[in-house]
Structure 1
Amino acid sequence: AVPVKQDLLQYLSQLERRLERTPKNYLNQRRQLVDSLERELLATTKSNIKDCSTGLNLAVEKLNLLSPLNILSRGYSICRGVQSGAVITSTKQTSLGQQVEIILSLQEKLICQVREMREGKDE
């Protein structure tokens, strides 16, 4: 049986429609994939930024706890040699008669003279 001209034209028309649809479908699928990947990338980026921000905030809090100004605000003081400016952490770092600076806060300091040195536990 020989195909009728009308059947061939109809078949050709179907092929044309399929050819038109196939690239459109392919492009639509790819656009959807790109959109999906873009949303995923954005969500991942936001999550990473949030994690980094949290880590940074924790590091800032730790630094603030160790900050000399914060330590002074809690009632501690820092003792330094007046001439050297070196922090004194032991009686071995000073001598009788030496002047020391005791820093109480950012604006308050005492200049004292060592009159007596004691080592060990208070009696």
Structure 2
Amino acid sequence: MTQISNSGDHWTIEMRGMEVQASIGVHDHERLGPQRLVLDVDLVLSEALTDGADRIESVTDYDFLRTAILDRIAQGHIETQEKLISDIADRCLDVLTVISVTVASRKTDVYPDCASIGVRLTRTRKC
């Protein structure tokens, strides 16, 4: 029987709606206490399935993603959402199977007439 190669496959890990409390902002009132952020992350993976088996050792374990975000926030005050998501993107690209990452951050309590205000970054691994 002919075996079909899927070496061109790209898998996407999606994390949606991670709510965190972070010390973030440039204004004096933002330094008084943490703010609620909602984060979304997409990780595009190259050859995430190493052998097609149905076990954790055959895929990219995505537990690192949540840990990386919480570790970055725990480091202390961040001036801008742009810096936060850039740092998260860098940590995601430390995982060799990640070829591209999109990170979005939204502050949910800034404007009374807006559900949120945020930024999104897509970063691709340089060859």
Give the structure-2-normalised TM-score. 0.23
Larger radius of gyration: 1
Which protein has the bigger strand share?
A: 2
Give the structure-1-normalised TM-score. 0.23
Which protein has the bigger helix share?
A: 1
